[in-house]
Amino acid sequence: MKHLTQDIKEFSVLKKYPSPIYYIGNTALLKNRKISIVGSRRPSSYTQALTHELSSKLSLRGITIVSGAAMGVDSLAHNATYDFNTIAVMANGLNIRYPSVNTSLIKNIEEKGLCLSAYAKDEKARAYTFVQRNELVVALGEVLIITQAELNSGSLRSFEFAQKQNKKVFVLAHRIGESLGTQDLIIQNKAEVIYDIDDFVNQYKIEEENKDEILLFCKYGINIQLALEKFGNKIYEYELEGKIYSKNGIIYPK
């Protein structure tokens, strides 16, 4: 667990910069385009499926998914990302993996993605730390997606942070009587509805889509066997040409 030596530019929208910020993982993800996804701790099967689809398709585009590592929508959003192209903002010190039910997920994010926290070693999560965690999650993303929320839920507090930060908010279309919090945002014209996930994802093309497919595939480090299955001997050619290198069975771009 270390602390960042450079400010995170997205946090400039906050009234007070949280310092220091501690981290475990790949800080290069902070340079990527990012979208925040939050929602209910008890999502419906419909929400689970669409959260997974949104997160996986956005991350495959090179968009880094930001969430809070909580149960429910948060963990679904993190888990669905391609090769853990994700940032988890924690409400406690990073030596504590909380909630314990997500220990395996958090460990994977530490190893392949990025965990951030405004809290020092051994500091436990409390009501106020969850509030600040939610504010940081919103600040990191270009936009906020709330996939399910009930009235007066924590996810609606995230919406309030998005308003203060002038961030666009998107929600899913739900059936009558479900996700009443996001339904209320739609009624008040305070959020845009995602009716088609592919149409939404297509808004977020990144420059690297026009670049080398192999280098993009290996951007965050990829298992050599997966790379060989997809590209065959081209992988060895790229290694000989010095475009990529392997370490402990993982391929990385140079």
Angle at 115 between CA 131 and CA 227, to 5 degrees: 140
- pLDDT digits over 10-24, tens only? 999 999 999 999 999
Q: Which residues of the chain have pLDDT under 70?
A: 205-211, 220
Residue keyed to tokens 């959003």: 77
Interatomic CA distance for residues 117 and 68, integer angstroms = 10
Interatomic CA distance for residues 229 and 224, integer angstroms = 9
pTM: 0.82
Class of domain 2-204 (CATH, top level): alpha beta
Backbone φ and ψ for 99, nearest 5 degrees, come out as -75, 150
What pLDDT does residue 221 have?
A: 78
User: Where, residue-wise, is CATH 3.40.50.450 in the chain?
Assistant: 2-204
- pLDDT digits over 104-123, tens only? 999 999 999 999 999 999 99
